[in-house]
């Protein structure tokens, strides 16, 4: 009888240990998935920011006296570059919102300067920006899906008991800049 009880206790301990290790690994994998998704957003933000100097140069050749708008774009690009090196999702979103506003100002110059709007370089840059926006929207959705999965795991039993040991906590969602 003692032997059977000892075997049952030992099997229970092994099952708990296996469950703990499995939960730990699952939570860490979900956390890495979120970090990977956030870096995907950073890649697209960096890609978009790298298009800005060409856009500014193209606009400068046609509308050199619109320096205030061009300076706004340059400072917004610098703010975005600084935000992507940090860890704050809200900071990224705010910097992205600032850059969106600045780019909209530059793109609106196309209607004021018909020769700019007919420039192949300007049209090509607009197309690249639109493609990057599509990829950025996908990257945001991918990140938010990964965060939703992680947050569900962290907030549900039995994973919530393993989360603190694994060093995993809920993450914030990426808010679309408006």
pLDDT for 119-130, tens place per residue? 788 888 888 888
Contact (Cβ atoms closer than 8 angstroms) between residue 116 and residue 69 = no
d(Cα 120, Cα 117) in Å, to the nearest integer? 8
Residue ranges of domains in the chain: 16-166
Residue 64 has pLDDT above 70, yes or no: no
- Binned at pLDDT 50, 70 and 90, residue 177 comes out as low
Which residues of the chain form beta strands (DSSP E)? none
CATH assignment of 16-166, given 1.10.760.10, 3.40.50.300, 1.10.1060.10, 1.20.1440.20?
A: 1.20.1440.20
pTM: 0.79
**Per-residue confidence (pLDDT) for residue 178, from 0 to 100:** 63
Residue whose token pair is 């993450």: 171
Contact (Cβ atoms closer than 8 angstroms) between residue 121 and residue 53 = no
Q: Which two tokens stand for residue 22?
A: 């499995």
**Per-residue confidence (pLDDT) for residue 149, from 0 to 100:** 93
Share of the chain above pLDDT 70, in %: 98
């Amino acid at each position: 009888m003692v032997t059977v009880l000892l075997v049952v206790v030992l099997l229970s301990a092994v099952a708990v240990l296996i469950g703990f290790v499995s939960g730990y690994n699952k939570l860490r994998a979900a956390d890495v998935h979120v970090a990977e998704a956030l870096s995907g957003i950073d890649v697209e933000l960096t890609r978009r920011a790298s298009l800005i100097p060409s856009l500014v140069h193209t606009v400068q050749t046609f509308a050199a006296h619109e320096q205030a708008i061009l300076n706004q774009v340059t400072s917004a690009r610098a703010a975005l570059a600084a935000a992507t090196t940090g860890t704050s999702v809200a900071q990224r979103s705010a910097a992205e919102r600032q850059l969106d506003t600045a780019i909209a100002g530059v793109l609106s110059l196309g209607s004021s300067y018909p020769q700019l709007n007919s420039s192949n370089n300007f049209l090509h840059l607009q197309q690249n920006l639109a493609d990057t926006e599509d990829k950025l929207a996908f990257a945001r959705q991918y990140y938010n899906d990964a965060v939703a999965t992680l947050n569900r795991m962290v907030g549900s039993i039995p994973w919530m008991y393993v989360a603190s040991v694994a060093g995993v906590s809920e993450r914030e969602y990426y808010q679309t800049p408006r």
